[in-house]
Amino acid sequence: MLTATNGRGHVVKSPSEPAIGTMLADLDQGDHLILERQDESQEGSWYIQVLFSENNTYQLEYRDGVPAEHYQTRTVSQEKVLHALLGWMADGPAWREGFMWTNIGHWFTPGPEDEDDPTA
């Protein structure tokens, strides 16, 4: 199942393409939108999220199952973000194109020095 959630807590189950477009267009600065794929037969998290920043840029991130597969990019184009969201939603192969993605998985996985530290 696919769900869309915005920063105000509005949740849409099985959202349509127009609903995603409306939710994206309605983002205020500092607000976010998350599309999440939920499949009880698979472990991990699959989602794409966008934050509309204070400087009128979009920070786009996605995760492919595990923390190590978490990527981020930025753009000023709402149209490119919408294309990415809809492509991800349709599980299309080309939605990542047109962006320079940075793997930020290390932000979410403990380093070797943290493995023995229960507070890390």
For 92-109, how does the pLDDT look when each residue is reduced to its tens digit (9 = 90+)? Answer: 889 999 999 999 988 876
d(CA 107, CA 116): 17
Residue 30 burial (10 A CB sphere; 0-12, 13-18, 19+): exposed
Q: What is the mean pLDDT of the chain?
A: 89
CA distance to 28, 50, 93, 118, per residue, from 32 (Å): 8, 5, 24, 31
| Nearest C-alpha neighbor of 82 from the set 23, 11, 31, 13 | 23
Reported confidence tier of residue 38, pLDDT bands at 50, 70, 90: confident
pLDDT of 120 higher than 70: no
Domain boundaries, the chain: 2-114
Extract the tokens encoding 102.
């940075």
